[in-house]
Amino acid sequence: MTGTAIAGLGMTELGKVYGRSPRRLAADAVRSAAADAGLAVSDLDGLIVSSGMSGSPGIELAAALGLRDLRLLTHMSSYGATAVAMVSYAAATIQSGGASAVACVFADAPLQPERSSGAAYHREAAEWHGLSGLQAALGFRSVNVFYALAARRHMERYGTTSEQLGAIAVATRAWARGNPRAQMRDPMSLRDHQESRWVVEPLHLLDCCLVSNGGIAVIVTSAERARDLAQPPVHVWGWGQGHPGHRMERGSDMGLTTGAALSGPAAMKMAGVTTAEVDVCQIYDCYTYTVLVTLEDYGFCARGEGGAFAASGALGPGGTLPVNTGGGQLSAYYMWGMTPLSEAVIQARGQGGDRQAPRNDVVLVSGNGGILDHHGTLVVSPHAKGRR
């Protein structure tokens, strides 16, 4: 066994894609990923399913795909950190001989025709019930509020500004302009960011991710097998998870640091690289602030200096650390952890077209779930591990 690789990538239409259930979208993504790898669906002997907001495709997806005699079938969930966790579980299973070709899939369809994106993740009612109802009644009606509180804490403690968060939105949009799959490709200036409406202060509309329907799947095999398949192998070098378990009480670091501080160093250690050797980052960007705090946690800049780092132009096209080269979840498509993972595969293969990063030897991928509660990191490369 010489390690594992991502051998296939399948993506449905993403965005305002109506009329297909999460299970149907997931099935379409798996079929597309298998075809991309040059495999028949019946060649799969493992399937890992991840759910979004609108119900899981379920492990019943295996039957929908007509899969037989699977050696691995399970549902996984650590919210936005799931994609990275699925790939690492598939890789570990393959390395230990438990399966040979594992599809990992995420699909979701929270958007409905004639409803706003915000409505998909928002609570509204005339009467509220109990303590959780009280919280919503007071105004805690979407996840935006909790990220706004975390971002504000970082701003107060370190002097991070809205303009610095805006620099992340602007850099991400600049990358999206090179991605034909991106939902938002109009040019964006810092002024556009500053003038976009407040969602929850200190977060403007352009600090927040999109909402998308669709499905994305990857196929993980041994590196050996991937070499004989249709696409350039994307070798899996290392992975890690971090679940900080921030207590909501005096002394908590909530908002100032995340599980990335644990998972990043673990994944880079397994991969045998340091931050200085990372060429491209695909960072989970549910909000601009999430990118900023994750870069700090990984050690690409010192704690509290993420704002200045972003404002320096480092993250955009032509910058020293290309981040979210496909436009991320802020500007391209919101497929939870599959957004950074899919772009990492594209970049590692050198298939980024107009947006291809100048170097792609080491690509770092992150996933973030809950309110900064769960984190996963993956390091991938076009080269077999140890043979760069």
Partner 1 sequence: MTARQTIGTIRRDGRGDPFFDGAAEDRLMTRRCEACGRWYAPDATDCPECAGELAWAEASGEAALVSWAVAHSRTGETAPLALVELAEGPWMYGRLDAVAAPREGLPLRASFVHPDEGESYPVFKERRENRGL
Could you list the active site residues?
284, 334
Q: At closest approach, how far in Å is the CB of 256 from partner 1?
A: 10
Q: What is the dihedral of CA 373, 262, 218, 172, to 10 degrees?
A: 80
Residue type for position 129: H
Best CA proximity match to 336, nearest among 280, 281, 285, 264: 285
Helix H or strand E encompassing 101: strand 101-108
Asked if 121 touches partner 1 (CB under 8 A), the answer is no
Please state, in angstroms and as integers, the Cα–Cα distance from residue 43 to each residue in 40, 104, 219, following that order.
Answer: 5, 14, 11
**Rounded to the nearest 5°, which phi and psi values hold at 29?**
-65, -40
Considering the complex, state which of residue 118 and residue 178 has its C-beta at the smaller distance from partner 1: 118
**How far, in Å, CA of 381 to CA of 4, rounded?**
11
Q: Which of residues 58-117 bind partner 1 (CB under 8 A)?
A: 116
Considering the complex, state which of residue 116 and residue 274 has its C-beta at the smaller distance from partner 1: 116
Asked if 149 touches partner 1 (CB under 8 A), the answer is yes
Q: What string marks each residue from 162 to 201 as x (binds partner 1 by CB under 8 A) or -?
A: -----------------------------------xxxxx
Q: At closest approach, how far in Å is the CB of 162 from partner 1?
A: 13
Asked if 249 touches partner 1 (CB under 8 A), the answer is yes
Asked if 141 touches partner 1 (CB under 8 A), the answer is yes
Considering the complex, state which of residue 181 and residue 246 has its C-beta at the smaller distance from partner 1: 246
Asked if 152 touches partner 1 (CB under 8 A), the answer is yes
Considering the complex, state which of residue 157 and residue 359 has its C-beta at the smaller distance from partner 1: 157
Sequence length of the chain is 388
Considering the complex, state which of residue 244 and residue 367 has its C-beta at the smaller distance from partner 1: 244
Distance spanning both ends of the chain, measured CA to CA: 18
Asked if 252 touches partner 1 (CB under 8 A), the answer is yes
Considering the complex, state which of residue 207 and residue 297 has its C-beta at the smaller distance from partner 1: 207
Please state, in angstroms and as integers, the Cα–Cα distance from residue 238 to each residue in 84, 102, 353, following that order.
Answer: 11, 17, 26
Listing DSSP states for 358-369 in one string gives S--SSEEEEEEE
Q: At closest approach, how far in Å is the CB of 111 from partner 1?
A: 17
Please state, in angstroms and as integers, the Cα–Cα distance from residue 29 to each residue in 4, 165, 196, following that order.
Answer: 21, 33, 34
Best CA proximity match to 252, nearest among 244, 260, 242: 244
In contact, 374 and 86? CB cutoff 8 Å: no
Q: At closest approach, how far in Å is the CB of 292 from partner 1?
A: 16
Q: Which of 133, 159, 350, 353 binds partner 1 (CB under 8 A)?
A: 133
Q: Which of helix, strand or coil describes residue 78?
A: strand
Q: At closest approach, how far in Å is the CB of 156 from partner 1?
A: 5
Asked if 387 touches partner 1 (CB under 8 A), the answer is no
Which residues here bind partner 1, judged by CB under 8 A?
116, 118, 125-135, 137-141, 144-145, 148-150, 152-153, 156-157, 197-203, 247-250, 252, 255
